[in-house]
Structure 1
Amino acid sequence: MFDLKPTTALGEENARIDVVGAFTISENSNCSLASLAACKGQEETVAGAIESALGIDLPGPGGCVTKDDHRVWWSGPGQWMIEADHDTHPLLAGEVKEIVRDAGAVTEQTDGWCRFDIEGASPEALFERLCAVDILGLATDTATRTSIHHIGCFLIREEARFNVIGPRSSAGSLHGALAEVAAGLP
């Protein structure tokens, strides 16, 4: 019989935390993710169901809303990503499907993505070098899709940090790019 045990996106038993120069780059492996797409003509039904169940108004372009233990960001017309702590919501996609029923299509995304949280005195300087986003113009609680080191990612700005959510299959390359640029900054 196999003795399998889960690993983080970087292949370790525990989430990795690196202090590189003035920045802390933390792998966050406690994320459940689900994508939600409203079926044709069902956006209002989906929005009402999510608002009723989670107390969250689905955000529009660039929007990111956090309430209690859920975070939702816009990923395209009629589409959103929903995030929650994996410890308390290991079956998030199933939970979301129960909420929206046949009005929306929900897919499990948890193991397809990795998340890095970046904190430091001036994380804007890091992202000015990593992606083509107006970082100084990116308001708190907003999300955007961008390319970091040729990897398609979501970039979310919180009050005191940035979250980078990228494909799990590129976790090592993404982490390497973040660390390399951070090491080159004063």
Structure 2
Amino acid sequence: MHDLAPLYPLGGYSPQIDIYDRITLTENADFAYASVAAHANCSGKLNDIALETIGVALPSTGQMTSNDSMTAIWTGPDQWMIEAPIHSHETMATHLSIKLAGIAAVTEQNDSFVHFDLVGEVYIDVLERSCAVNSRQMPHNAVIRTTIEHISCFILHRSTGHVSILGARSSAKSLHHNLTN
């Protein structure tokens, strides 16, 4: 029998943490993800049952909403990514598929994204250098879709001094390189 061990998106057996003078970039694989896209003419119905089914209200354009364990992230018109701790929500997509049958398409995204947390005093400087986002004006709970060196990303402004960057797992090393150089 094979003895397989999961690897983090950057290829290690543990998350990579880059600590600089006033900022830290941390590879974070602690979350499960599921994309939710409303079926045609069902966005109103989905919004009505989202709070009960998902645990958070679906946010409007460019926003995210959270409770203690789940976050709904706007990703496009009538589309959201649901984020929750993987240790307790690894099968979240299956559960949501059943609850939202006929109303929304749900797809598991657990291994599709790399998640970096950028924390520290100069996080805005890193974002200004990396992408075309007005990061100084970005309010808390804002979600912005952008590119970092031609890599499509979502930037989530979690709190003062803390943003998360979600990008394609297949581009993890390139994205990491661009954030650290």
- TM value normalised by structure 1: 0.93
Q: What is the 5 A alignment of 1:24-63? A: 24-63=24-63
**How far apart are the structure 2 equivalents of 1:99 and 1:148?**
35
Gaps (5+ residues) in structure 2? Answer: none
The answer on whether the counterparts of 1:70 and 1:84 sit within 8 Å (CA) in structure 2 is yes
Gaps (5+ residues) in structure 1? Answer: 181-186
| Deviations 1:78-107 (CA, angstroms, capped at 9, x unpaired) | 110110010110112112213212210001
- Match in the other structure for 2:141: 141
**How far apart are the structure 2 equivalents of 1:87 and 1:151?**
28
The answer on whether the counterparts of 1:34 and 1:109 sit within 8 Å (CA) in structure 2 is yes
1:20 Cα offset (Å): 2.5
Question: Which deviates further from its counterpart, 15-24 or 145-154?
Answer: 15-24
**How far apart are the structure 2 equivalents of 1:166 and 1:178?**
12
**How far apart are the structure 2 equivalents of 1:136 and 1:96?**
35
The answer on whether the counterparts of 1:20 and 1:179 sit within 8 Å (CA) in structure 2 is no
Count of residues in correspondence between the two structures: 180
- Match in the other structure for 2:120: 120
- Match in the other structure for 2:11: 11
- Match in the other structure for 2:65: 65
The answer on whether the counterparts of 1:25 and 1:116 sit within 8 Å (CA) in structure 2 is yes
**How far apart are the structure 1 equivalents of 2:54 and 2:138?**
26
Give the secondary structure class of the aligned counterpart of 1:128.
helix
Give the secondary structure class of the aligned counterpart of 1:87.
helix
Instruction: Report the residue type matching 1:130 in the other structure.
Output: S
1:21 Cα offset (Å): 3.4
| Deviations 1:117-154 (CA, angstroms, capped at 9, x unpaired) | 00111211110110011111110111011001210000
Give the secondary structure class of the aligned counterpart of 1:118.
strand
Percent of aligned pairs with the same amino acid? 34
- Match in the other structure for 1:100: 100
* Aligned Cα root-mean-square deviation (Å): 1.1
1:22 Cα offset (Å): 2.0
- Match in the other structure for 2:157: 157
The answer on whether the counterparts of 2:54 and 2:96 sit within 8 Å (CA) in structure 1 is no
The answer on whether the counterparts of 2:35 and 2:79 sit within 8 Å (CA) in structure 1 is yes
**How far apart are the structure 2 equivalents of 1:163 and 1:46?**
26
| Deviations 1:37-85 (CA, angstroms, capped at 9, x unpaired) | 0000111221122112334221111011111210011111111011001
- Match in the other structure for 1:79: 79
- Match in the other structure for 1:167: 168
Instruction: Report the residue type matching 1:71 in the other structure.
Output: T
1:2 Cα offset (Å): 2.1
